[in-house]
Amino acid sequence: MANINELLEELNPAQLKAVQHPPQIPLQILAGPGSGKTKVLTMRIAYLITYCHLPPSSICAVTFTNKAANEMRERLYKLLGKDRTSQIKMGTFHALCAMFLRRYSKTVGLDGNFTVCDADESKKMIAKLLKPYKELLTEKNMTLTENGALGFISKVKAKGWTADDARRYVEEMNALTPQERFVRTMGKFEPWEGEFGLILASVYKDYEKSLREANSVDFDDLLMFGVKLFAKHAKASSWCRHVLVDEFQDTNNMQYDLMVYIARASQCVTIVGDPDQSIYGWRSAEIANLGKMQQDFPATQQIYLEQNYRSTGSILALSLAIVSQDKGRIQKTLRASHAQGPPPVLRIFPIEQVEAAFIAAEIKRLVAFSGVRFNSLSRAIESALQKESIPNRVLAGHKFFERMEIKDVLAYLQLVDNPQYVPAFLRVVNVPSRAVGVKTINEITLRAQQLKISPLKVVERIVDGKIPDTKPPVKKKLASFVHTIRILRRHANGGIAPSKLINALVDSINYKEHLIKTQPDADSRWDNVQELVNFASEVEQNGPEDLVRRMFEADEALHEDVPENRDGEESQDDWEDGMHDFDGDQAEGLRASGDTPLRLFLQASMLSSDTETPEEEKSKEKVTISTCHAAKGLEWPVVMIPAVQSGVFPSTRAEDVDEERRLLYVACTRAKGLLYLTHTTARMMSGEFVPTHMSDFIGSLRDKKETRDLFTETLPSLPQPDRKTIATVTGRSLPDEAEVARRVSEYAKTARHPAWGDNAPFRETTMYTMDEDVVANWTPQSFP
């Protein structure tokens, strides 16, 4: 185990002050990128446990992504050991809510085996729900897309509103005069007015109903129900002695409320954040939460960190120049602790294919220098090239848990865990093909509604001959499906490990065969299924199952010495009632066995799907392709940002230009040693080349004398690599420059035009970065 004292010595005075700040005084650590906020937060957790003797299970640490939670956990393993670390309640707000909701589901009217419905399934659900409104919408000359409806629902959910709340609001607004409305909304235009608003509210109502009928919740629901749980039951958070939140600038109202509720017994809160990196306004994040915290926790103090430990001087200078163009921004100090380093590269290309070829060639040059094995390097570059040619596919295809084969497998397992989950049923009832047509499926769904049972149950009854009017062929077609479900159910009830369950499933449905028959890239898809098995084994070995158990185990002991009810709003009677419910639910949660291995595995997969993929985690030797949003909080030696051009930065769809600029700032400040910005002068839009120009965010800097030298066209010169070393590391000679050039130009010629029309949302801007290990022998300091 690492010695915490030694690590404390590494901190600068401001960082140390933040770590050692008295726990009972609420603290805001506000500082720019790379100033060690996350590091300080992690050290503070260790400090609270080691020096302030807080039980690990009394600490709630909130990260922005699951990946960040995993990283923090790994760092804490080294400081505190696995035993203590695993008791800390750590994760995203969503993951924490999911954990507690499983435990205390009945308190908020859910079943313990609810399924978390992902964005894709939500969209399918909405598509179906919109159908009955089609005529009305056309009649009224209104357009409502699935994304439009989901956007509305998500926005009002972020306010904590149910469908009924939303309807009430719309009705209230509709009753006002335009002037009154203007005053009420403080001049902000809300598109959900008038009849359109009423339609939206009913779509939301239908959606809510469908989710509940399928015994499922969507991501926003996790927070909404979480707030409900913690608000109603002070005891649900009585274990908590300190809440710590990373990336606080991107919390929305519900997340803020969660923080307040969880902290209500102790009033001990530490948050870290950076207003300049607030990039989730479009998802209802409230930068105002910083001020709100000062009101809700009047004793709050602030500490600023001003030393950047991540980037070279020149990368930091450019980044700061970009963000400083925001006139409303509060100026703050951020000093580089690294040398100046080579200036960021700015390059212009005619079209995306050439831009992609440049990126690939440059990656190749850097990697060749670092001496990574040529074989794996070549694969990485090859895929970087391929991915580059179809940016939309990069992202859609990149997220592990969104892949077809993964979703197929998960859907079967979801159905076993939660037979009511209709989206999973619809997904796999005919996968592999059982010749079950749309008509049959519609009949089944209709019958399910009539009988008030799940479609799966209807199918089971059909196969069991309990629905006499079924045609024999239909019964026969469905038999194999029911057979598979029953095998899986039997295994699952016997407590079989999810990894084994997956194997049993793919055997039973002959899934490999199905892939070979239907998919051109069956091999790699089958590899993904194997990867899912690996992921399941990992979860089984040291994953959430164990973590969740430990987190809650420790609570029992804690409840004894929790201070008396400090919540002024609840009377003693409420409190008793609350306790009663709570204990009852706890028993219920266990009875419904909230923690079956299968359920925990499904939850881990669902909650992983925000950013990381298991295979990505492991393959450090690959170039990482990421959206700017998903790169938040992370860092790489080399970062390349393509398409820094009009229509992308800012996106044509963006509502807030300043937020778009901050997004570019976040992207640039991920780089430690080298930063590349590229763009093209033409861009494919709806099948035609449209001229584009450099993003104003950097164009304005290049046009000014004082800031022009912040970039260069010249590629950084790399110190002469030691050929001998590379030869022995790789067992190969250096890649032949001419060969690389030939392949790249050939590629540029043959590459298809990307289907990246202007309807690509700005979030799909890709960012190319290279992992630590790729440039293992190379550091920013290598440059004079």
Binding site, annotated residues: 31-38
Shortest gap between Cβ of 83 and Mg ion (angstroms)?
26
Question: How far apart (Å, rounded) are the C-alpha atoms in residues 77 and 104?
Answer: 29
Q: Which of 14, 28, 30, 35 binds ligand ATP (CB under 6 A)?
A: 35
Q: What SS3 class is residue 680?
A: strand
Stretch that binds Mg ion, among 86-94, 340-348, 621-629, 633-641 (CB under 5 A): 633-641
Question: How far apart (Å, rounded) are the C-alpha atoms in residues 211 and 153?
Answer: 13
Cβ closest to ligand ATP, residue 43 vs residue 80: 43
Q: Which of 18, 30, 37, 122 binds ligand ATP (CB under 6 A)?
A: 37
Q: Based on the shown chain and the rule CB under 6 A, indicate whether residue 74 belongs to the binding site for ligand ATP.
A: no
* Subset of 297-326 contacting ligand ATP (CB under 6 A): 309-310
* Subset of 625-644 contacting ligand ATP (CB under 6 A): 633, 635
Helices (H), 131-184: 134-139, 146-158, 163-174, 178-184
Q: Based on the shown chain and the rule CB under 5 A, indicate whether residue 633 belongs to the binding site for Mg ion.
A: yes
Q: Based on the shown chain and the rule CB under 6 A, indicate whether residue 447 belongs to the binding site for ligand ATP.
A: no
Q: How far is CA 543 from the centre of its chain?
A: 18
Across 17-32, b (16+ Cβ under 10 Å) vs e yields: ebbebebeebbbbbbb
Cβ closest to ligand ATP, residue 274 vs residue 286: 274
Cβ closest to ligand ATP, residue 274 vs residue 658: 274
Type of residue at 555: D
Type of residue at 186: M
Q: What SS3 class is residue 91?
A: strand
Shortest gap between Cβ of 365 and ligand ATP (angstroms)?
25
Question: How far apart (Å, rounded) are the C-alpha atoms in residues 396 and 306?
Answer: 38
Q: Based on the shown chain and the rule CB under 6 A, indicate whether residue 614 belongs to the binding site for ligand ATP.
A: no
Q: What SS3 class is residue 682?
A: strand
Structure tokens at 463: 């196969």
The beta strands (E) that lie in 257-314 are given as 269-273, 301-305, 307-308
* Subset of 147-176 contacting ligand ATP (CB under 6 A): none
Cβ closest to ligand ATP, residue 169 vs residue 309: 309
Cβ closest to Mg ion, residue 391 vs residue 633: 633
Cβ closest to Mg ion, residue 57 vs residue 278: 278
Among Mg ion, ligand ATP, none, what binds residue 408 when CB lies within 5 to 8 Å by partner kind? Answer: none
Q: 718, 774, 724: which is closest to 373 by C-alpha? A: 774
Q: What angle do CA 723, 725, 727 make, to 5 degrees?
A: 70
Q: What SS3 class is residue 347?
A: strand
Known binding positions for ATP: 31-38
Question: How far apart (Å, rounded) are the C-alpha atoms in residues 550 and 87?
Answer: 5
Size of the site for Mg ion (CB under 5 A): 3
Shortest gap between Cβ of 201 and ligand ATP (angstroms)?
38
Q: Is 592 exposed, middle or buried (0-12, 13-18, 19+ CB in 10 A)?
A: middle
Stretch that binds ligand ATP, among 6-14, 89-97, 178-186, 231-239 (CB under 6 A): 6-14
Q: What SS3 class is residue 17?
A: helix
Shortest gap between Cβ of 553 and ligand ATP (angstroms)?
31
Type of residue at 613: T
Stretch that binds Mg ion, among 34-42, 147-155, 156-164, 363-371 (CB under 5 A): 34-42
Q: Which of 23, 26, 36, 647 binds ligand ATP (CB under 6 A)?
A: 36
The beta strands (E) that lie in 312-457 are given as 335-336, 345-349
Among ligand ATP, Mg ion, none, what binds residue 33 when CB lies within 5 to 8 Å by partner kind? Answer: ligand ATP
Q: Which of 18, 30, 38, 262 binds ligand ATP (CB under 6 A)?
A: 38
- Cβ(326)–Cβ(299) below 8 Å: no
Binding mask 553-582 for Mg ion (x = CB under 5 A): ------------------------------
In the DSSP assignment, the letter for residue 751 is P
Cβ closest to Mg ion, residue 31 vs residue 366: 31
Q: Which of 14, 19, 26, 33 binds ligand ATP (CB under 6 A)?
A: 33
Among ligand ATP, Mg ion, none, what binds residue 315 when CB lies within 5 to 8 Å by partner kind? Answer: none
Cβ closest to ligand ATP, residue 581 vs residue 635: 635
Block residue for tokens 């080399």: 638
- Cβ(780)–Cβ(673) below 8 Å: yes
Cβ closest to ligand ATP, residue 336 vs residue 623: 336
Q: What SS3 class is residue 599?
A: helix
Shortest gap between Cβ of 287 and ligand ATP (angstroms)?
15
Residue nearest to Mg ion (CB): 38
Give me the sign of the Cα torsion angle 46, 52, 58, 64: negative
Shortest gap between Cβ of 777 and ligand ATP (angstroms)?
18
Q: Based on the shown chain and the rule CB under 6 A, indicate whether residue 232 belongs to the binding site for ligand ATP.
A: no
Q: First-to-last CA distance in the chain?
A: 36
Shortest gap between Cβ of 123 and Mg ion (angstroms)?
31
Q: Based on the shown chain and the rule CB under 6 A, indicate whether residue 15 belongs to the binding site for ligand ATP.
A: yes
Q: Is 740 exposed, middle or buried (0-12, 13-18, 19+ CB in 10 A)?
A: middle
Question: How far apart (Å, rounded) are the C-alpha atoms in residues 781 and 405?
Answer: 44
Among Mg ion, ligand ATP, none, what binds residue 251 when CB lies within 5 to 8 Å by partner kind? Answer: none
Cβ closest to ligand ATP, residue 35 vs residue 613: 35
Residue nearest to ligand ATP (CB): 36
Shortest gap between Cβ of 652 and ligand ATP (angstroms)?
27
Per DSSP bridges, beta strands 27-31 and 636-641 are unpaired
Shortest gap between Cβ of 409 and ligand ATP (angstroms)?
34
* Subset of 693-752 contacting ligand ATP (CB under 6 A): none
Structure tokens at 386: 């391929």
Q: 598, 216, 210, 621: which is closest to 378 by C-alpha? A: 621
Q: What SS3 class is residue 242?
A: strand
Please name the helix (run of DSSP H) or strand (run of DSSP E) that holds residue 49, with its range, or none: helix 37-50
Residue 720: other Cβ atoms inside 10 A: 7
Shortest gap between Cβ of 767 and ligand ATP (angstroms)?
14
Q: Which of 15, 28, 38, 216 binds Mg ion (CB under 5 A)?
A: 38
Cβ closest to Mg ion, residue 46 vs residue 600: 46
Among ligand ATP, Mg ion, none, what binds residue 149 when CB lies within 5 to 8 Å by partner kind? Answer: none
Helices (H), 233-310: 253-262, 289-296
Stretch that binds Mg ion, among 35-43, 141-149, 397-405, 654-662 (CB under 5 A): 35-43
Q: Which of 1, 2, 10, 702 binds ligand ATP (CB under 6 A)?
A: 10
Shortest gap between Cβ of 19 and ligand ATP (angstroms)?
11
Cβ closest to Mg ion, residue 38 vs residue 769: 38
In the DSSP assignment, the letter for residue 708 is G
Structure tokens at 38: 């996350």
Stretch that binds Mg ion, among 29-37, 44-52, 525-533, 583-591 (CB under 5 A): 29-37
* Subset of 650-669 contacting Mg ion (CB under 5 A): none
Greatest alpha-carbon span in the chain: 84
Q: Which of 274, 417, 585, 658 binds ligand ATP (CB under 6 A)?
A: 274
Q: Based on the shown chain and the rule CB under 6 A, indicate whether residue 11 belongs to the binding site for ligand ATP.
A: yes
Please name the helix (run of DSSP H) or strand (run of DSSP E) that holds residue 376, with its range, or none: helix 374-389
Dihedral angle of Cα 592, 595, 600, 603, to the nearest 10 degrees: 50
Cβ closest to Mg ion, residue 38 vs residue 284: 38
Question: How far apart (Å, rounded) are the C-alpha atoms in residues 669 and 318?
Answer: 9
Helices (H), 402-519: 404-417, 422-428, 438-451, 455-463, 472-493, 498-508, 511-518
Binding residues (CB under 5 A) for Mg ion: these are 37-38, 633
Binding residues (CB under 6 A) for ligand ATP: these are 10-12, 15, 31, 33-39, 274, 277, 309-310, 633, 635
